[in-house]
């Protein structure tokens, strides 16, 4: 659905993206991650044919986004980062205007406008001026607009930016359900969102692709050492001293509260020391209230890949 | 064609949604009314060779309204899109850049033309009430409006260019006012340089809007303006198109 070949964009004095190549297959939901200024929005703007690349090619549904721009744009629903809308229009008017700009008319236009209003829960504000809508509603108007012509591909630039937790959850469900019919490329900073919605993740940093894989594989690949959490009553024992004797433990941090020791045990990578710790506890007659291995998250992957020393 | 119509509809609705359009309409109505009233008053005072149409279109009221209106009409057309960021949704919809430029130009031109309708009604009603001779011939009534159309095209295109250059409506209005007034006073060069160079006179005669109006309101239609202004309009719109694309790609 998307094919990007050696895409490069230079601004005066800065290289925003450098030699980017990737593909997105039909039906995928791809999360596009990276720190601010990594080149996510630039890539999305090129894909939506808002601006041309300095070098390289990009195709949407087989159409070059620059040479065959109008055909490429017909397959695309695009939600820019700032969700720009005409403030002087009403929701209904805006959707009808954008629909007819994208080639819908008559009965088809009306039924599509109704459908996207239903999908994005815009019923109650359909006759309101966009200027008077809250951030959450504006975001939904933007999304409804992107969906109105039933595009094969949706490009969403930070679709949950500025939403409250309930709205984020709602948006996530919506995006997930859209994934059944549309190919989606979305950028976001909320990594937990990516873990549940995306079938693949592309992480870019300083204009280059650092990783492209499923969220599970990325998390599995991470090599930072893990952490085991232990909460126990240890009697007269000093838990730190005892735990540090176990092979594979790097260091232990502990604090005490009402006689309970809460320990955070750093262990070496790819090892599970929970059984050893349990045996130690049984041997020393400790009472255990919690023993868990903390998993690496996508956040850890993100930080490791895009960590900068400056 | 359908797309162009959709865009045009949107651009026209922008005018009628905004308060500024109604302020312009209101002020224009007052200035036109005053201008017409003074024309009648002047002709009532003493016998004159001039028709009402002539006095109306050569009054200071008329020219002040004419010169000020373009910047107000065109200032938001492109500047507002850049400022709100809606340029991004607009240009990622399946529309050609030229369609956007054309729709913005046409909408501003149509709004400008609608401003003159009341004055045309004054003349028609005045003539219908039996003062045929004070109005002049049919050609004398219509000729100034033809001229307003072509000169308007030129000035609206200037305004569109100014608006495409900036993201700030006020700056756009200033630039377009400067350009409009600048072109209006180009003929003054003849007095400043004080040379009797026939070439200079020949050139400046093309943009001598006061002189055009003087002859058109007498019913003397000069075909040169129908070539000069439309071709300059095309040139200006082409530059606007280039500036627009350049700025969009530079974001």
Q: Is B45 on the interface with A (CB under 8 A)?
A: no
CA gap B98, B164 in Å, rounded: 13
CA gap B19, A76 in Å, rounded: 35
Q: Is B22 on the interface with A (CB under 8 A)?
A: no
Minimum CA–CA partner of A65 in chain B: B92
Could you tell me the pLDDT band of residue B1, with boundaries at 50, 70 and 90? Answer: confident
Q: Is B20 on the interface with A (CB under 8 A)?
A: no
Q: Which of B14, B83, B93, B169 to mutate to test binding with chain A, by most A CBs within 10 Å of its CB?
A: B93
CA gap B53, A235 in Å, rounded: 108
What is the reported pLDDT for B61? 84
Query: Count of residues for chain B?
Result: 251
Side-chain-facing half-sphere of B65: CA atoms under 13 Å = 25
Q: Identify which of B6, B13, B53 has the alpha carbon closest to the alpha carbon of residue B216.
A: B53
CA gap A306, A298 in Å, rounded: 12
Q: Which residues on neighbouring strands pair with residue A57, listed in sequence order?
A: A5
Tell me: pLDDT of A113 over 60.
yes
Minimum CA–CA partner of A142 in chain B: B89
3-class DSSP state for residue A290?
strand
Q: Which of A70, A89, A97 sits opposite B94 (nearest CB)?
A: A70
Q: How far is A186 from chain B (nearest CA, A)?
A: 16
Residue A85 and residue B89: Cβ atoms within 8 Å? Answer: yes
Backbone angles phi, psi at A287, to 5 degrees: -100, 120
CA gap A305, A302 in Å, rounded: 5
Q: Is B89 on the interface with A (CB under 8 A)?
A: yes
3-class DSSP state for residue A63?
strand
Q: Which of A51, A84, A103 sits opposite B86 (nearest CB)?
A: A84
How many CB atoms are located within 10 Å of the residue B222 CB? 14
CA gap A97, B7 in Å, rounded: 8
Tell me: pLDDT of A310 over 50.
no
3-class DSSP state for residue A89?
coil
Q: How far is CA A181 from CA A4, A150, B88, in A?
A: 22, 9, 25
| Region B196-224 average pLDDT | 84
How many CB atoms are located within 10 Å of the residue B169 CB? 20
Q: Give A235's DSSP letter.
A: T
Lateral strand order in the sheet of A200-205: A76-79, A153-157, A183-187, A29-33, A200-205, A208-213
Tell me: pLDDT of B196 over 70.
no
Backbone angles phi, psi at A221, to 5 degrees: -80, -15
DSSP string spanning A106-150?
Answer: HHHHHHHHHHHHHHTT-GGGTTSBGGGS-HHHHHHHHHHHHHTT-
The 10s digit of each residue's pLDDT in A173-208 is 888 888 888 999 999 888 878 888 888 999 888 888
CA gap B134, B44 in Å, rounded: 11
Residue A78 and residue B84: Cβ atoms within 8 Å? Answer: no
CA gap A141, A181 in Å, rounded: 19
Residue B2 and residue A105: Cβ atoms within 8 Å? Answer: yes
Residue B94 and residue A73: Cβ atoms within 8 Å? Answer: yes
Residue B88 and residue A87: Cβ atoms within 8 Å? Answer: no
CA-CA-CA-CA torsion for B43, B45, B49, B53, nearest 10 degrees? Answer: -10
Q: How far is CA A66 from CA A6, A73, A90, in A?
A: 15, 10, 32
Could you tell me the pLDDT band of residue A227, with boundaries at 50, 70 and 90? Answer: confident
Size of interface A-B (CB pairs under 8 A): 66
Q: Which of B2, B18, B92 sits opposite A49 (nearest CB)?
A: B92
Question: How, if at all, do strands A55-60 and A2-11 pair?
Answer: antiparallel
CA gap B45, A19 in Å, rounded: 80
The 10s digit of each residue's pLDDT in B235-247 is 999 999 999 988 8
Stated pTM of the model: 0.86
Q: How far is CA B50 from CA A60, B139, B211, in A?
A: 67, 15, 16
The 10s digit of each residue's pLDDT in B156-186 is 999 999 999 999 999 999 999 999 999 998 8
Residues from A contacting B (CB-CB < 8 Å) are 45, 48-52, 70, 73-74, 76, 78, 80, 82, 84-89, 97-98, 100-103, 105, 145
| Region B54-69 average pLDDT | 88
Q: How far is A44 from chain B (nearest CA, A)?
A: 11
Residues 193-222 of B with CB under 8 A from A: none
What is the reported pLDDT for B31? 86
Q: How far is CA A81 from CA A120, A128, A176, B79, in A?
A: 18, 23, 19, 20
User: What percent of chain B is predicted at pLDDT more than 70?
Assistant: 97
> What is chain B's mean pLDDT, rounded?
88
């Amino acid at each position: 659905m998307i094919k990007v070949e050696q895409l490069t964009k230079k601004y005066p004095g800065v290289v925003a993206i450098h030699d980017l190549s990737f593909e997105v297959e039909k039906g995928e939901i791809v999360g596009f991650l990276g720190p601010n200024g990594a080149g996510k929005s630039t890539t999305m703007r090129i894909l939506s044919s808002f601006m041309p690349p300095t070098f390289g090619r990009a195709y949407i549904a087989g159409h070059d986004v620059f040479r065959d721009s109008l055909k490429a744009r017909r397959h695309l629903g695009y939600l820019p980062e700032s969700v720009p809308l005409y403030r002087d229009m009403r929701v209904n008017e805006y959707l009808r205007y954008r629909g007819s700009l994208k080639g819908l008319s008559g009965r088809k236009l009306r039924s599509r406008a109704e459908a996207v209003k239903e999908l994005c829960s815009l019923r109650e504000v359909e006759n309101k001026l966009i200027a008077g809508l809250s951030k959450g509603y504006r975001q939904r108007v933007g999304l409804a607009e992107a969906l109105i012509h039933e595009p094969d591909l949706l490009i969403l630039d930070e679709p949950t930016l500025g939403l409250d937790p309930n709205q984020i959850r709602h948006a996530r469900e919506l995006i997930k359900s859209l994934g059944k019919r549309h190919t989606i490329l979305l950028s976001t900073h909320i990594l937990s969102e990516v873990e549940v919605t995306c079938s693949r993740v592309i992480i870019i940093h300083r204009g280059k692709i650092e990783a492209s894989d499923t969220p599970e594989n990325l998390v599995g690949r991470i090599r930072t050492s893990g952490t085991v959490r232990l909460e126990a009553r240890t009697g007269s024992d000093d838990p730190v001293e005892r735990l540090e004797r176990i092979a594979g433990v790097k260091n232990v941090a502990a604090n005490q509260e009402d006689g309970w020791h809460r320990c955070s045990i750093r262990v070496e990578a790819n090892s599970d020391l929970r059984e050893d710790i349990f045996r130690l506890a049984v041997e020393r007659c400790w009472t255990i209230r919690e023993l868990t291995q903390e998993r690496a998250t996508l956040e850890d992957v993100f930080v490791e890949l895009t960590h900068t020393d400056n | 064609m359908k797309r162009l119509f959709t865009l045009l509809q949107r651009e026209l609705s922008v005018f009628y949604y905004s308060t500024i359009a109604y302020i312009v309409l209101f002020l224009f109505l007052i200035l036109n009314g005053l201008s017409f009233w003074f024309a009648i008053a002047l002709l009532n005072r003493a016998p004159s060779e001039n028709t009402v149409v002539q006095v109306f279109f050569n009054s200071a009221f008329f020219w002040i309204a004419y010169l000020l209106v373009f910047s107000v009409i065109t200032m938001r057309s492109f500047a507002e899109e850049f400022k709100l960021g809606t340029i991004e949704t607009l240009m990622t919809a399946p529309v050609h850049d030229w369609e956007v430029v054309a729709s913005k130009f046409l909408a501003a031109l149509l709004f400008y033309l609608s401003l003159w309708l009341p004055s045309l009604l004054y003349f028609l009603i005045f003539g219908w009430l039996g003062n045929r001779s004070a109005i002049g011939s049919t050609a004398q009534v219509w000729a100034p409006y033809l001229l307003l159309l072509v000169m308007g095209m030129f000035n609206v295109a200037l305004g569109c260019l100014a608006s495409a250059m900036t993201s700030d409506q006020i700056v756009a209005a200033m630039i377009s006012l400067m350009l409009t007034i600048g072109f209006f006073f180009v003929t003054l060069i003849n007095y400043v340089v004080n040379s009797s160079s026939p070439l200079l006179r020949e050139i400046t005669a093309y943009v001598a809007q006061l002189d055009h109006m003087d002859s058109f309101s007498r019913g003397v239609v000069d075909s040169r303006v129908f070539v000069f202004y439309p071709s300059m309009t095309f040139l200006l719109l082409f530059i606007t198109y280039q500036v627009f694309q350049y700025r969009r790609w530079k974001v």
